[in-house]
Amino acid sequence: MHLICLGIMRKLIYLWLDGEILSSKDLNEYVTYAQDLILFFIKTFMKLYGIHNMSHNIHNLIHLVDDVKKFGPLDNFSAFKFENYMQILKKYIRKADRPLQQLYGDILKKKELTQIHQLFYHILFWYIQI
């Protein structure tokens, strides 16, 4: 049963990555199929792992098809393309207090360092030419 659950999730992921399901311009063809796969995955997940292991992400899959019907393809409202950048920003935050101020200060420092490095390379390049 565990493999069935993984197989369904794998199929959903492959379909999404291929752009055939919930991101296609012809959504009507795939919405019902996607909803059936998602519901089967959630029911199987609950049987295998219990409701106590269901995270918000699993629960939110229920609403994904409704969101696609309302807003169109996943690419229209997904924040996935910004996830990698979020990891970079998280590295600058050292504590929970005043995260925006921390980001701003660290980004300014990084910009200043970049300018200093550029100046250093210009001076070094000029010195080498002499």
Percentage with pLDDT > 90 across the chain: 0
The whole-number pLDDT of residue 100 equals 83
Burial class (CB in 10 A: 0-12, 13-18, 19+), 64: middle
pLDDT at 77: 78
- 92, 102 Cβ separation under 8 angstroms: yes
Cβ-based neighbour number of residue 68 at 10 Å: 22
pTM over 0.75: no
Note whether 42 and 85 are same-domain residues. no
Residue 41, pLDDT above cutoff 70: yes
Looking at the structure, do residues 68 and 85 belong to the same domain, yes or no?
Answer: no
Residue 20 clears pLDDT 60, i.e. is over it: no
Distance separating alpha carbons of residues 52 and 17, to the nearest angstrom: 29
What share of the chain has pLDDT > 70, as a percent? 65
Q: Which residue in 72, 68, 67, 11 sits closest to 37, CA to CA?
A: 11
Question: Which residues constitute the domain of residue 113?
Answer: 79-128
Residues 66 and 84 in one domain: no
Q: How many domains does the chain have?
A: 2
